[in-house]
Structure 1
Amino acid sequence: MSTTSPEALQICEECDTVHRRRAMTHGEVGKCACCGATLEHYHSLDPNAMLALVLTAFVVFIQANLWPIVTLGLNGRQSSTTLWGAIIAMWQEQAQVIAVIAAATLFFFPLVKMLSIGWLLWFARQHRCAPGFVPIMVTLHYIGPWTMSEVFVLGALVAIVKAKVYFDVMADPGIYAYAVLTVLITIFARVDMRELWNMRMKESV
Structure 2
Amino acid sequence: MAEGATNRLNLERLIACPKCDAVYEIVEPAPRERAVCARCHTVLIAPRRRAGKQLIAMAVTVLILIVAASVFPFLRIGAGGVHNDSSILDAAFAFSGPLAALSLAVLGFIVVVPMMRLMLLIYVLVPVVRNRPAAPGARAAFRFAESLGPWSMAEIFALGCAVALVKISDLAEVNFGPAFWMFAVLVVMIVVQDTLMCRYSVWKSLET
* Interval containing the TM-score (normalised by the shorter chain): 0.7 to 0.9
Query: When the two structures are superposed, what TM-score results if normalisation uses the length of structure 1?
Result: 0.84
Indicate how the Cα distance of structure 1 residues 27 and 162 shifts in structure 2: closer, same or farther if over 3 A, else same: farther
1:108 to 102, 108, 112: 112
2:82 is aligned with 1:92:
no
Number of corresponding residues = 198
2:74 is aligned with 1:80:
no
Shift of 1:37: 6.4
- 1:64 aligns to what? 69
- Match for 2:32: what amino acid? H
Alpha-carbon displacement from aligned partner over 1:88-145 (angstroms, at most 9, x marks no partner): 12x3264134213201111110110111111111111112312221221221122101
The runs of 5 or more residues in structure 2 that have no matched partner are: none
2 CA distance for matches of 1:9 and 1:39?
A: 17
2 CA distance for matches of 1:200 and 1:137?
A: 9
Alignment check: 8 A CA contact 2:45 2:198 kept: yes
Output the aligned Cα RMSD. Answer: 2.7
Listed as ranges, the matches of 1:17-56 within 5 Å are 17-24=23-30, 26=32, 28-31=34-37, 38=42, 40-44=44-48, 45-56=50-61
2 CA distance for matches of 1:7 and 1:183?
A: 36
Shift of 1:157: 1.9
Query: When the two structures are superposed, what TM-score results if normalisation uses the length of structure 2?
Result: 0.83
- Match for 1:82: what amino acid? S
The runs of 5 or more residues in structure 1 that have no matched partner are: none
Indicate how the Cα distance of structure 1 residues 24 and 8 shifts in structure 2: closer, same or farther if over 3 A, else same: farther
Alignment check: 8 A CA contact 2:28 2:45 kept: no
2 CA distance for matches of 1:141 and 1:158?
A: 29
Alignment check: 8 A CA contact 2:29 2:47 kept: no
- 2:127 aligns to what? 123
Alignment check: 8 A CA contact 1:12 1:37 kept: no
1 CA distance for matches of 2:61 and 2:89?
A: 21
Alpha-carbon displacement from aligned partner over 1:15-53 (angstroms, at most 9, x marks no partner): 573503222453634225xx5563614252521121111
Alignment check: 8 A CA contact 2:139 2:206 kept: no
1:170 to 169, 172, 175: 175
Alignment check: 8 A CA contact 1:10 1:39 kept: no
Shift of 1:11: 1.9
- Match for 1:100: what amino acid? L
2 CA distance for matches of 1:57 and 1:150?
A: 13
Alignment check: 8 A CA contact 2:29 2:35 kept: no
